[in-house]
Structure 1
Amino acid sequence: MPEPSISTRWSLARRVVGVLAALLVTVLIVYLGRSGYRDVRGDGLSFLDSVYYSVVSLTGAGYGDITPVSATARLADVVIIMPLRVLFLIVLVGTTLELLSERSRQAFRAYKWRSRVRNHVVVVGFGTKGRAAVKTLLGDDEVEPNHIVVVDTDQDVLSAATALGLVTVHGSGTRSDVLRVAGTQRARAVVVATNRDDSAVLVTLTARELAPEAHIVASVREAENVHLLKQSGANQVVVSSETAGRLLGMATSAPAVVDVVEDLITPETGLAIAERPVETGEEGGSPRHLGDIVLGVVREGTLYRVDSPEVDAIEPGDRLLYVRKVTPADQRE
């Protein structure tokens, strides 16, 4: 769950500083007025004795082996040390209650969120690939930030995700209990963006077991591991190293092609690949004769290229993959 604006650790640190300040003030008062105190041993108070008396006085122990005897010392004890003792106890009790109540609030928020959230997206791994996936989801306005759950083991990474308004879960995506906390069993999609292929396989297996109907997309570095991800339950697998290698190879002979491809997969500017339902007036026509540049047709979950004979005529319920131009209004959104 997103952390509150003031963290519990920072609040606790401030309270510790307050307690130490109260103790220091008490020690100085006792040490400066040490002539007005009597020790059972009969000798004067040392600095250590002043610290000892301050600690037992503020904590309420009060063993009686050191007592104020002069009028000045007793007045200081009533006017200064007694309020400091009350403040000291309030800080200790208040800190304990705040820690307990904060844990209860966090548990309640997590329970409330898990009981309500449905059809969200779980992103396992918030490195370069995971961040890009989340950025695309947010840029296309497909998912609200509070319907994206990031799972990672790096707390600094999770803090960055929280700053974006995302829900975060600390832990390894290979563990079923961690994915359950992320609500994977009710998610509509799972993005596996780990840094290692073996981890991607384990995450995919665990996610598929929890969410048989979810759409799982996984990223791997090596093409030889694609079949493992497919067998583990991934619906789609993206080979990051080979895709980058192809673009590098194309850039040496046809750099303009690489520019167009990058433009298409970058939703913020220029052109972008999008999906939309077929409009009523388009039914029965050819996808190649539409005003939009259609790349493919999705029919009953199967993707057909625009030149496939199966989609010569558009049918009700089809969805079109087309190239759209990103307008300035889209960029502002």
Structure 2
Amino acid sequence: MKNNSNIYSEYATLRRKSGLPIWADILMRVLFVLSLVGMAVAVHWFDREGLRDTYDGDVSFLDVIYFTMISITTTGYGDIAPVTERARMFDALVVTPIRVFVVLIFLGTAYNFVLKRTWDKWRMKLHQKSLRNHIVVLGYGVSGSEAVKELIARGQNPGDIVVIDTNDASLAKAEAVGCFVLNADASNDDTLVNVNIDKAATAIVSAGRDDTSILIVLTIRHLNPDMPISVVIRSTDNELLARQAGANNVINPVNFAGLLLAGSCHGLHISDYISDLASVSGKVMLSERSVKPEEVGRPLRGLSSGVGVRLYRDNKAYGYWEEPAQNMMDGDMIVEIIPSLLDEKNGVSDQPKNRRWPWLKEKKA
């Protein structure tokens, strides 16, 4: 049996986005059509002896142009007609294909520059109405795609995820799992406005380059001052810049891998447990939420929903052993270890979204 990848490679073509402006693209199509018509006119003129004009018997140059145009447009009034075999064969074998090409070119131009744009704008407006409290993923490379995969595994609706990238192949993969996709520059204000960034719940930035990711963070923060932003930064020197740009969470995959490697040197199961905490596929996971009214006054270690490991108060972090964590207060944020969302028998558990992501509010009708 022939390998599918080989079949694909036979038909795959190397593509590049056209650098021509719209007016130049349209002009090139018009010139191509005119060249086809000009070729037909030239042949008809040089072989005008094969044409007969039933009106005055004389075939002038204007008559040739007239006959060529009505032949290409399939009007065919019959006042001028090919009478020799050579003229008839030319009309059958050359003019007919020209007619087909001209029709296809005009239909394709109308579709690309009129119908398709109108249809896409209408669809975008329709989708924009449903975009609220959604997650915007800017960059669908290795990190971005894994983040989306993990979000969906945790129970996130793919229809509440918008992916922005400039790579068609990456966007096709994101669209295949049910996400909204947009091929555009993520650092552009108009792009972020088109995905309702001001109504989004959070953003994940993974542009592949630190400078580009930081610029995207700055643009997002300009349009949405309060939304949580997580960004992937590969150089330690740029982590501070990312935070100054407005990122709430700065993740360095290189440093994180180093932490796992170092932890594995002091225990065979430490890195395994850390991986469990970070992924929905493990037995445990980390959850962040606000303190419930009935928990006010209790110690962090006294949680019934999980194992409390850290408390945040006034943007300061406290461990479960520190004094502030012995008396939880209204407005505190806590991080706890809870059982994984996966249940061996029932699949995904019925834990509510606000337990997994407290900033993710339910959509309003």
The answer as to 2:190 corresponding to 1:177 is yes
Number of the residue aligned with 2:167: 154
Number of the residue aligned with 1:126: 140
- The alignment partner of 1:195 has SS state of coil
Q: Which amino acid aligns with 1:246?
A: L
Number of the residue aligned with 1:273: 286
**1:305 and 1:330, CA in 2 relative to 1: closer, same or farther beyond 3 A?**
farther
What pairs up with 1:134-283 in 2 under 5 angstroms?
134-141=148-155, 143-283=156-296
**1:115 and 1:318, CA in 2 relative to 1: closer, same or farther beyond 3 A?**
same
- The alignment partner of 1:243 has SS state of helix
- The alignment partner of 1:200 has SS state of helix
**1:235 and 1:279, CA in 2 relative to 1: closer, same or farther beyond 3 A?**
closer
Q: How many Å apart are 1:211 and its aligned residue?
A: 1.6
Q: How many Å apart are 1:105 and its aligned residue?
A: 2.5
Query: 298, 323, 330: which is aligned to 2:337?
Result: 323
Q: How many Å apart are 1:237 and its aligned residue?
A: 0.9
**1:193 and 1:93, CA in 2 relative to 1: closer, same or farther beyond 3 A?**
closer
CA shift digits 1:125-173 (9 cap, x unpaired)? 11111112222322333x4322222111101111111111111121222
**1:152 and 1:308, CA in 2 relative to 1: closer, same or farther beyond 3 A?**
same
Number of the residue aligned with 1:49: none
Q: Which amino acid aligns with 2:205?
A: V
CA shift digits 1:37-91 (9 cap, x unpaired)? xx86259xxxxxxxxx99964622548654479xxx9xxx9xxxxxxxxx99998
The answer as to 2:55 corresponding to 1:41 is no
- The alignment partner of 2:232 has SS state of strand
Question: Going by fraction, where is helix more abundant, 1 or 2?
Answer: 1
Q: How many Å apart are 1:257 and its aligned residue?
A: 0.5
What stretches of structure 2 of length at least 5 have no aligned partner?
1-46, 52-66, 93-99, 351-365
Distance 2:82 2:204 in 1: 68
What stretches of structure 1 of length at least 5 have no aligned partner?
1-38, 44-52, 78-86
TM-score (norm 1): 0.69
What pairs up with 1:4-83 in 2 under 5 angstroms?
41-42=49-50, 57=71, 59-60=73-74, 62=76, 66-67=81-82
Deviates more, 1:187-196 or 1:270-279: 270-279
Query: 285, 297, 300: which is aligned to 1:287?
Result: 300
- The alignment partner of 1:255 has SS state of coil
Q: How many Å apart are 1:196 and its aligned residue?
A: 1.2
Distance 1:283 1:306 in 2: 15
**1:169 and 1:266, CA in 2 relative to 1: closer, same or farther beyond 3 A?**
same
Deviates more, 1:294-303 or 1:243-252: 294-303
Q: How many Å apart are 1:330 and its aligned residue?
A: 4.3
The answer as to 2:321 corresponding to 1:307 is yes
- The alignment partner of 2:269 has SS state of helix
Q: Percent identity?
A: 26
Contact 1:150 1:158 in 2 (8 A): yes
Total equivalences in the alignment: 274
Number of the residue aligned with 2:41: none
TM-score (norm 2): 0.64
Distance 1:300 1:147 in 2: 31
Contact 2:232 2:251 in 1 (8 A): yes
- The alignment partner of 1:249 has SS state of helix
CA shift digits 1:209-256 (9 cap, x unpaired)? 222222121111111111111121212211111111221233344231
Contact 1:269 1:331 in 2 (8 A): no
Query: 111, 136, 141: which is aligned to 2:125?
Result: 111
Number of the residue aligned with 1:34: none
Deviates more, 1:195-204 or 1:108-117: 108-117
Contact 2:275 2:282 in 1 (8 A): no
* RMSD, aligned CA: 3.6
- The alignment partner of 1:41 has SS state of helix
Distance 1:91 1:224 in 2: 55
CA shift digits 1:293-316 (9 cap, x unpaired)? 111234466543222211212234
Contact 2:131 2:195 in 1 (8 A): no
Distance 2:149 2:177 in 1: 10
Distance 2:297 2:208 in 1: 46
Contact 1:40 1:66 in 2 (8 A): no
Distance 1:88 1:64 in 2: 25
Number of the residue aligned with 1:17: none
